[in-house]
Structure 1
């Protein structure tokens, strides 16, 4: 028996055993039997795409459910609705006031910080220098740099 024939026998037997169960699962998640049928067909195609390993899997049923969940997630991601914002929407007066206040407050507050904390925030956040290069410049690990930066930001927030 050829590998293709063996796979077809394997997948057909397995599919007949679990098709109704998978269909109910997909219908319960989508609330639409037609959409569930489309997803079920896509699921079968994914199983066929893994023909080299599907029948040797320890738990092909679990794999099918994971693949079904992934299909559902993919579907939700592609059908999300986004609200387009107009590019020429002016800032509200309140947001302009907040930005103006921050423009005045931030430099003063930064000056109140210890020099090492101020340098971390200025270089990383304001000048947008890569954190790895800043860590290298200080002779510390990236993790240590991130920890110091987090403490500096926390101190800045408390000072504001």
Structure 2
């Protein structure tokens, strides 16, 4: 991949995350070629963000989310392939060093978000899922940054409660998601 013109923060985050992301993709899909394709697609999406990538608070998490979404898109394109469909089924894990526990929550997250108020959902989607900085969100909404910080903390707490209740997630001693039991959320 040609990295000319890439912003330094992207290159730094990428160099720290690329191998871990690749191993995670191979583990998820069992296909090294597909993992390379998804890895390249993830890098290109980050590269397209240009300087905006530097404003993302959790850049590594953003890269994993983009990669997970790209892998899901590949699975959807190949639904007829039983092997890919079987690999798409999330597994229960107790290992907090691996993102599978968090990744498995993707089936619960959309419904949990729908259960939030429109304001809470908007701020979570903008700042946490789409990577918009809290400062940029504050400017867009013409709100003080302190107000945005308070609102996002409250919205995250509400989302956490929804996920704990409806996805039966558990947290380890470091307050990280360690495992969950998917449910229908209906």
User: What is the TM-score when the length of structure 2 is the normalising length?
Assistant: 0.39
Q: Rg larger in 1 or in 2?
A: 1
Higher relative CO (Cα under 8 Å, sequence separation at least 6) belongs to 2
User: What is the TM-score when the length of structure 1 is the normalising length?
Assistant: 0.45
Q: Which of the pair is proportionally richer in helix?
A: 1
